Structure 1
Amino acid sequence: MQQEWLDAIRPGVRSAAPVRRDRIDEALHRLQWNESPYDFPADLKEEVLRRLANLPWSRYPLSSRPWLLVDALAARFALPPEQVVVSEGSSDLIRAVMAATLRPGDVVVMPTPTFMLYRLNARLYEGTVMQVPLDATAGFCLPVDALIEAAQQHNARLVALCAPNNPTGTRYAEADLRRLATSIPSLLVIDEAYAEFCNQDLTGLLELGNVILLRTFSKYYAMAGARVGYALAAPALAAELQKVVTVFPLSVFSEVIALVALEYHHRFAVIRDQVVAERDRLAATLATIPGVVVYPSATNFLLVALNGRKQELLEHLHDRQRVQISDVAAYPELAHCVRISVGTPAQNDLVIQGFTEIFGG
């Protein structure tokens, strides 16, 4: 009987891995999820709490979409509000885009390695994933011609990528992204989760009509726990996406936090500059250690290739320095790599100490 009811579930959902009940040890230095090493500023938390105290918590938000935040984002990017869609994190917008566009068998083209959520969501909606390899020896640069060829050959419904790319940290040239968008028979979804760490602005691509930009408050604004993301698209596309995000996509709490963050945008630029400076220091120091290769990064993390001893390093950092970094072995082409979120200076020093103790230097 149980099997009979399970047959009602979509094949794409049933084929996905089960959700594990993992919990991070709070005693560890968390340098594995590309979070901000600095919390949302304390005085801005007080401002958020002051505003929340004046709101009724027993009521639903005043409208089914967070229009105040939509308007604030539109003003931030000098775009009409009709081009902005807000939801609970850019991860939900990835799901929404694929829910709105994919029919069973539709092809989604993406580079690899890239953010795994594109592949997961495509398969949940029974799409066919076509992956175009990135070449480490070429600095993981965007294979524009190969992506165009794959999209054209398979009449792709979507091309999805992350710019700068996660997990490699690679920045892609706007000219390459424009050529890709103008040469494919499909929508181009560009996830800009790390855009602020390299002052990237791709809003000029929206004029092409087939580009959807996804952004998040999680990284630059130190709001990973608040779950706020947004999409920028041509008005006609944005109107369709508004239909597939959930009703009341943000709590009043998340909307107020995001509004305060936007009002004090300059405060987070200072934090971003500290992270970038530490990223460059960490990269330069690790690069001097024998057996370690650090790839260029335009994000708040580093991809590091190791000449062996990876598991020993991971265990050493965990047990001795109490630091958790990311083992990216789930990407077969990166089986010899780790990814390190940039932390505070003290946390980064622990990483350097652990690498030095294992590899020398």
Structure 2
Amino acid sequence: MKTEWIRKTIQNFEPYFVAPIAEKNVINANENYFNVLSIPAVKQELIEALDTFKPQIYPKPMADDLRKALAEYVDLKPENIICGNGGDEMITYLLGTFLNPGDKLLVHSPTFDMYELGAETLGAQTIKVKDLAGYRRDKEGLLAAVKKYQPKITVICNPNNPTGDLLPASFIEVVLKAADNLVFVDEAYMEFAQKESVISLIRQYPNLIVLRTLSKAFGLAGMRCGYLAADQEIINAIAKIKAPYNLNAFTQLFAQIVLRHKEELFKVRDDIVEERKRLFDELVKIPGLTVYPSCTNFLLVQVESKHEEIFKALKEKDILVKIYRNSAELPNAYRISVTTKEVDDTLLEVFRKELS
């Protein structure tokens, strides 16, 4: 194939790569360990719904019933919601709707890779504001950059992936007031923080866009269901580039069932939060290791030595964590999804042994 056939903005593009997985305990992707189908009422409701389910019929283009259920969940109107195949697709739609070649995207750093990767494919420029020591966001630096550059889109991941840091809603409101353009807040992990959401500010700020997902606290990562919440005019604009039947009928059906059982899932969420606190307290005690406070279902950990050795030792225990190799922003780091006490105790055993 001739290289010139490829669009210029992606000729040197490195795709987001996910390696094959062989381990039994996969704690590298911030998935929820809990299977929602283990709730008898959820399973029964799904079985009954399948009696009238028609896979031969195209899904509703705007996922009308699901939009209504999600709007009720976040206390907005259905017109303020647009749904898609997980947060990744929603990020792609958002950037594809508003970014032109040469436009500026502002992010804090380190953060989720997909914002910069998406901007790069569109020929946009990414400006980064580096975190302060301890991976706390540089609020003054971020606000100054918004005022200086007035980027087309300012991105705030809150709580942040991969650091777990949470910014107060009051600061994000300051950013909204300072920005002439769009402010995009990724709240994929907000259910674990249980506070500080800015989604209610959509009524006041027409330049605010919030991303939410059912992949994390609701345990539907494999079903791919994410959604954007924003002013109706923004939603209508994003709908211009949305594929007509982007969210399949089964996901639309099952997501509504899961939302009706959110209280049971929030009990699991609370258990994960408690286990995160326990795991953090135990990791802090290990010499040669630094663990950072988190408001999510994962922890960021850095080691002073044996970076690769620890990763291999965990694999031998059938545990796969997210490892950051050759990263200037996250040297000698792992991101660890919080799951069960059994898995976490095995992980702690490996860290203690390798760093003793």
Q: TM-score, normalised by structure 1?
A: 0.94
Matched, 1:130 2:148: no
Counterpart secondary structure, 2:236: helix
- 5+ long unaligned stretches in structure 2: none
Partner amino acid for 1:267?
A: E
Structure-2 residue corresponding to 1:352? 348
From 276, 280, 285, the equivalent of 1:279 is 276
Following TM superposition, the consecutive aligned residue runs of length 4 or more in structure 1 with deviations greater than 6 angstroms are none
Q: Say whether 1:165 aligns with 2:160.
A: yes
* Distance in 2, Cα, partners of 1:20 & 1:82: 35
Q: In structure 2, what is the equivalent of residue 334 of structure 1?
A: 330
The answer on whether the counterparts of 2:146 and 2:175 sit within 8 Å (CA) in structure 1 is no
Question: Which residue of 2 is the match for residue 208 of structure 1?
Answer: 205
Q: How does 1:1-361 map to 2 (within 5 A)?
A: 2-3=1-2, 6-18=3-15, 20=17, 22-25=19-22, 27-42=23-38, 43=40, 44-61=42-59, 63-135=60-132, 137=133, 139-200=134-195, 201-206=197-202, 207-319=204-316, 321-329=317-325, 331-360=327-356
Measure, in 2, the Cα distance between the counterparts of 1:41 and 1:115: 29
TM-align CA RMSD: 1.5
Give the SS at the match of 1:255.
Answer: helix
CA apart distance, 1:144: 2.6
8 A Cα contact 1:100 1:244, kept in partner: yes
Distance 2:290 2:18 in 1: 34
Q: In 2 relative to 1, CA 10–330 (structure 1 residues): closer, same or farther, beyond 3 Å?
A: farther
Alpha-carbon separation, structure 2, partners of 1:54 and 1:102? 42
Q: Cα gap change, 1:21/1:334 in structure 2, threshold over 3 Å: closer, same or farther?
A: closer
Task: State the one-letter code of the partner of 2:208.
Answer: V
Partner Cα distance (1:185, 1:40) in 2: 42
Letter in 2 for 1:65: M
How many angstroms does 1:151 deviate by?
A: 2.9
Q: In the TM superposition, what is the alpha-carbon distance from 1:45 to its structure 2 partner?
A: 3.2
1:74 and 1:330 map into 2 onto residues whose CA distance is 42
Deviation sequence 1:184-237 (CA, Å, 0-9, x none): 222111110100001132223212111100010000011100000001101111
Q: Is the 8 A contact 2:300 2:334 kept in 1?
A: yes
CA–CA separation in structure 1 for the residues paired with 2:307 and 2:24:
19
Task: Tell me the SS of whatever aligns to 1:103.
Answer: coil
How many angstroms does 1:32 deviate by? 0.5
After superposition, give the CA deviation of every residue in 1:242-288 in whole Å (9 maximum; x if it has no partner).
22222112111101111001111101111101111110111100110
Query: Using a 3 Å threshold, how does the CA distance of structure 1 residues 21 and 355 change in structure 2: closer, same or farther?
Result: closer
The superposition leaves residues 164-188 of structure 1 with CA deviations (integer Å, 9 ceiling, x where unpaired) of 0000000111111111111122211
Q: How much has 1:19 moved relative to structure 2?
A: 6.2
SS of the aligned residue for 1:303 comes to strand
Q: Determine helix, strand or coil for the equivalent of 1:208.
A: coil
Contact 1:113 1:331 in 2 (8 A): no
The alignment covers a number of residue pairs equal to 352
Other structure's SS at 1:305 match? strand
Offset, 1:7: 2.7
Question: What letter matches 2:36 in structure 1?
Answer: F
Amino acid of the structure 1 residue aligned with 2:129: V
Mapped contact 1:84–1:231 kept (Cα < 8 A): yes
Point out the more displaced range, 193-202 or 91-100.
193-202
Q: Secondary structure at the match of 2:349?
A: helix
Give the CA deviation at 1:47.
2.2
Following superposition, the deviation at residue 331 of structure 1 comes to 4.0
3-state SS of paired residue (1:105): coil
Report % sequence identity: 28
CA distance in structure 2 between the partners assigned to 1:143 and 1:13 by the alignment: 31
1:294·1:303 contact (CA, 8 Å) conserved in 2? yes
The one-letter amino acid paired with 1:189 is F
Change (3 A) 1:283 1:21: closer
Distance change in 2, residues 1:183/1:288 (3 Å): same
